Amino acid sequence: MSATVPSPSTPASPRAFANEPVLELRRAEVRAAALEALAKLDATLPIEVPMLIGDELVRGEAFASVDPSAPERVVARAHAATAAHVDAAIGRATEAQRAWGATSAPERAALLRRAAELMRGQRTALAALAVRECGKPWPEADGDVCEAIDFLEYYATGAEALGRGRALIQLPGERNTMTYVPRGVTGVIAPWNFPLAILCGMTSAALATGNAVVVKPAEQAPACAKAVVDALHAAGVPHGALSLLPGGDEPGKALVADPRVHTIVFTGSCAAGLSILERAAKVEDNQFHIKKVVAEMGGKNVIIVDADADLDDVVPAVLSSAFGFAGQKCSAASRVLVHEHVADALAQRLIGAVATLKVGPAEDFATDVPPVIDAAARERVRDYTAQGAAAAARAAVATDAVPDADGFYVAPALLIGLPDEHPVIADEIFGPVLAMQAVRSIGEACDRVDAARFALTGGLFSRSPRTVEEVAARTPVGNLYVNREITGAMVGRQPFGGGRLSGTGPKAGGPDYLTQFVEARAVTENTVRHGLVV
């Protein structure tokens, strides 16, 4: 007699999922609709973002998020959580955990899909919010909305598959099953650069697998966080299972330290990520579990350009990878290593191309490089650029392109021939600064990539199949892009995340991500009775 064998499952079959189509902004009528949504949003600003602790709206010390393109425009008035608020929210989450964890995977998946549908119904409004609150240009803001929807759909499908368990070896006389159970209360600490997508992805992965969540969004993007949380609540996620705590460091630290939290999902800087890992490792007296940290940290991403590359393709891809959204993507290119045979030709073309970049407000479709997120970022980027320009063999800093306006604008910069130990080469700047260095061979370029702390994304331009194979085999980066730009990972197509100090590497939007949020349970039942297999 054979026991029932659970069918082998593939989380998220690629056929069941299709990416949300991005807006076709090359059409004038689509652009007009986007601007209309923006005007509608502007009439509602500032948006009030109280804390949401269970079903209670809680007010605290107010703080503002502003439009980086015009800082006098207040986008949100949010209420900052303190450690006491965190304590209350985790209390509610702990209460809610049992019931939420007991719902079936298909039930939870249905809620996520409903949230996706709700967000689909407000595509341009949500994009407009990201334009205003984070200075994301339209194509990127819209991409952010689409990616948020993609995460909801992809993790819904993935959670259903995971809910069916995994196949095990079965022998006569025993029945073996493996199922997944939620780990427990999850703290989400989200960044501002993908204010909808990353927050939604981290939150929905935890919810899909049956974990109650407390979300702490970035200080710069509370209104975007509220939009995602509202959609999930409206779809039917119980309030106890999802709390929202706007604020700065204090609530984040309290969330990481609390012994009732089982999983911490973080995307942000390397320094913050390492300190979370350190704090989370400490087990309190009343804590009977080991916390898991899922961290997506920095990058210092390199594009390698071989001597046989087509520079016609390289120049636009490098420009968009380095300067799109002012370089404020974890995946952005910040360094080019170019074969010496084509180094001069590429330098000349890139210098000329940087001069064509238009710096301007995020809502202007003509803008190539929007402002950076805040005044502190602007000062940091300017410092790096000044230091780099002083030390570089050649520098192209598009100072003339910077509008004479109050936005947090910085000039896109190309710095050529800096030494490896220069801070511009070594540090993650998170701004529109690109360093270019010549190498004698692709092997040397790979050695330099190997010598770096980060390993998130990378690019290679080569038309030699063997070179592509060799670089792919030895690169440490989590996402290698060949003969294209190195940003714009799509859910289900380019699972995203890196190794080394770039993160713990489970690949958001990929088939393995959800396993971070569950624990496996194996049950073996003896089916022999009185010497007979029954």
Partner 1 sequence: MLMNAADAEAGPDLEPRIATIGRELVAKMPTARRTPRAAVERRVMGAMVADPELRAAVFRFVDVRPACDDPRELARHLGELLAEADDSPLARRGAALADGPLTRRATAKAAALGVEQMAQRFIIGADARDALPAIEQLWRAGAATTVDLLGEATVTEEEAESYARRCEETLLTLHEASRAWPSRERLERDALGPLPRVNLSVKVSALTPLLRPAAPERGIAGARARLRRLLAVARDTGAHLHVDMESFDTREAIAELTLALLSEPEFADRPSAGIVLQAYLTESPRHLDRLLAWTREHPRAQPLTIRLVKGAYWDHETVEALQHGWTPPVFQDRRACDRNYEALTRRLIDAQADGRVRAAIASHNLRSIAHAAAYADARGLDVELQVLRGLGDETQAALLAAGRRVRAYCPIGDLVAGMAYLVRRLLENTSNDSFLRAQAEGVDLTTLLEQP
Q: How far is the CB of 32 from partner 1 (least distance, A)?
A: 12
Contact positions with partner 1 (CB under 8 A) in 55-74 = none
446 belongs to the catalytic site: no
Q: Which of residues 129-188 bind partner 1 (CB under 8 A)?
A: 138-139
- Catalytic entry in 296, 363, 428, 485: 296
Binding partner 1 (rule: CB under 8 A), the pick from 1, 290, 366, 390 is 366
Q: Are 284 and 255 in contact (CB under 8 A)?
A: no
User: Which region, left, alpha or beta, applies to residue 246 given φ > 0 means left and ψ of -120 to 50 means alpha?
Assistant: beta
Does the footprint of partner 1 cover residue 465 (CB under 8 A)?
yes
In the complex, the smallest distance separating the C-beta of residue 386 from partner 1, rounded to whole angstroms, is 25
Give the range of 183-191, 216-224, 235-243, 362-370 binding partner 1 by CB under 8 A.
362-370
* Of positions 20, 160, 374, 428, contacts partner 1 by CB under 8 A: 20
Q: DSSP for 148-213, please give it.
A: HHHHHHHHHHHHHHHHT-B-----TTEEEEEEEEE---EEEE--SSSTTHHHHHHHHHHHHTT--E
Contacting residue, 2, 5, 10, 18, with partner 1 by CB under 8 A: 18
CB of 55 to partner 1, least distance (A): 37
Among 16, 25, 110, 533, which residue interacts with partner 1 (rule: CB under 8 A)? 25
Phi-psi region of 503 (alpha: psi -120 to 50; beta: other; left: phi over 0): left
464 is a contact residue toward partner 1 (CB under 8 A): yes
186-189 and 263-267: which strand pairing?
parallel
Catalytic-role residue among 224, 330, 428, 446: 330
Q: Tell whether residue 43 is a contact of partner 1 (CB under 8 A).
A: no
Strand segments (E) across 239-306: 242-244, 263-267, 292-296, 301-305
Interacting stretch for partner 1, rule CB under 8 A, among 64-72, 220-228, 346-354, 514-522? Answer: 346-354
Tokens of 240: 């106890």
Instruction: Please state, in angstroms and rounded to a whole number, the distance separating the CA atoms of residues 44 and 75.
Output: 9
Q: Which of 394, 463, 474, 521 binds partner 1 (CB under 8 A)?
A: 463
What is the C-alpha separation between 417 and 75, in angstroms, rounded? 41
Taking 3-state DSSP, the helix, strand and coil percentages for the chain, each rounded to the nearest 5, stand at 40, 20, 35
From 353, 391, 426, 533, residue interacting with partner 1 (rule: CB under 8 A):
353
CA distance 323 to 326: 5
Please identify, among the stretches 46-54, 189-197, 345-353, 385-393, the one whose residues bind partner 1 according to the rule CB under 8 A: 345-353
Is 296 labeled as catalytic in the residue annotation? yes
Return the half-sphere exposure (C-beta side, CA atoms, 13 A cut-off) of residue 69.
20
Question: Which residue in 1, 28, 169, 290 binds partner 1 (CB under 8 A)?
Answer: 28
Q: Looking at beta carbons only, is 107 or 310 nearer to partner 1?
A: 310
DSSP string for 115-153: HHHHHHTTHHHHHHHHHHHH---HHHHHHHHHHHHHHHH
Q: Give the chain's end-to-end CA distance (angstroms, integer).
A: 7
Task: Please choose, out of 170-178, 218-226, 355-363, 508-516, the segment that lies near partner 1 by the rule CB under 8 A.
Answer: 355-363
Q: Work out whether 33 is an interface residue with partner 1 (CB under 8 A).
A: no
Does residue number 21 form part of the binding site for partner 1 (CB under 8 A)?
yes
What type of residue sits at position 214? Answer: V
Q: Which is nearer to partner 1, 9 or 464 (CB)?
A: 464
Write out the E strands in 218-262.
Answer: 242-244
List, by residue number, the catalytic residues. 296, 330
Interface positions with partner 1 (CB under 8 A) = 18-22, 24-26, 28, 31, 138-139, 307-312, 315-316, 349, 351-353, 355-356, 358, 364-366, 368, 463-466
